[in-house]
Amino acid sequence: MAAVVVIAAAGLVVAAYLEARSVIVQPYTFASSDLPRQFDGLKIVYLSDVHRRAHYFSDEDIKDLVARVNAMRPDLVLLGGDYAYDKGREEAQVFSLLSGLRAKLGVYAVLGNNDYQGSRTKNVPPADSSATRDAIANTGIRLLDNEGVWIYKDGARIRLGDVSDLEMGDPRIAPVISGTTTKDFVLLLSHNPDFSETLPAAAVDLVLSGHTHGGQITFFGWTPFIPSKYGQKYRTGLVRNGKTTTIVSNGLGTKVLPLRLFARPQIVVVTLRCQTR
């Protein structure tokens, strides 16, 4: 009996290791009456939680990821934070590879909690993110941090914004939505999906997040540990909370052990559709 248990456990570990290396494309379609018709069919590729490390999600894995994304011919590529496994050590290498990403309307990035060095104490300014910022500089990737930009297409525009990390930064939505109205389409990047609960009603149409890894190790859609104060709500997928819609990616890399169970790593592809008012 003991031998059977050991064999079963070993098989489960092997399956979890292989699953962690099996990146899938996870498609979503999001329709909104706020979206200008010029943006109908816009393809967004969202990549989160790379967590690059030498022996797992290596440079070769990132090169393959970049080639795979470029072959999709996206309109926008958005990077959701947590780029390196070891804080302050691998950012430059990660972004030298991610700089190969191409999109018609640009490549934008947000910081995750692992992109800050040190720790943050309550009522103390955000932790240091200079290593990641320096790594992104001059790559052609634009880092957004508590700010919004207008994305233009054929005379129309949508708002793309980002807030800094909920745990390590000082997230502020006001600069993101400054100059917008409830009729504008607003897309927000927030590494931590919990921030979407704090949004003003009708201020943001869609939030893209990561951070939870889809639970990483799950059992029938439930995980014993998830870094969210809302429990399983923001584990993965599309979530409506009454204020906005949030899409939570499983991410690409892993934390602690290079294993996943029923939480496959994802390249998220979001297609925007114009919905008639």
108: β partners: 78, 142
| CATH fold group of domain 2-274 | Purple Acid Phosphatase; chain A, domain 2 (3.60.21)
Residue 64's φ and ψ, nearest 5 degrees, are -65, -40
Q: pTM for the full model? A: 0.94
Per-residue pLDDT of the chain (277 residues; tens, 9 = 90+): 666 555 655 676 888 888 888 999 999 999 999 999 999 999 999 999 999 986 788 899 999 999 999 999 999 999 999 999 876 568 889 999 999 999 999 999 999 999 998 777 766 768 889 999 999 998 999 999 999 999 999 999 999 999 999 999 999 999 999 999 999 999 999 999 999 999 999 999 999 999 999 999 999 889 999 999 999 999 999 999 999 999 999 999 998 889 999 999 999 999 999 987 6
The rounded distance, in Å, linking the Cα atoms of 37 and 23 is: 32
Nearest to residue 46, comparing CAs of 244, 187, 164?
A: 187
The rounded distance, in Å, linking the Cα atoms of 230 and 239 is: 12
With a CB cutoff of 8 Å and minimum separation 6, the contacts of 55 are none
Q: Give CA angle at 84 (13, 46), nearest 5°.
A: 85
Residue 217's φ and ψ, nearest 5 degrees, are -115, 110
The rounded distance, in Å, linking the Cα atoms of 172 and 168 is: 13
Q: In what order do the strands lie in the sheet with 142-143?
A: 24-32, 266-274, 43-47, 76-79, 107-109, 142-143
The rounded distance, in Å, linking the Cα atoms of 174 and 152 is: 21
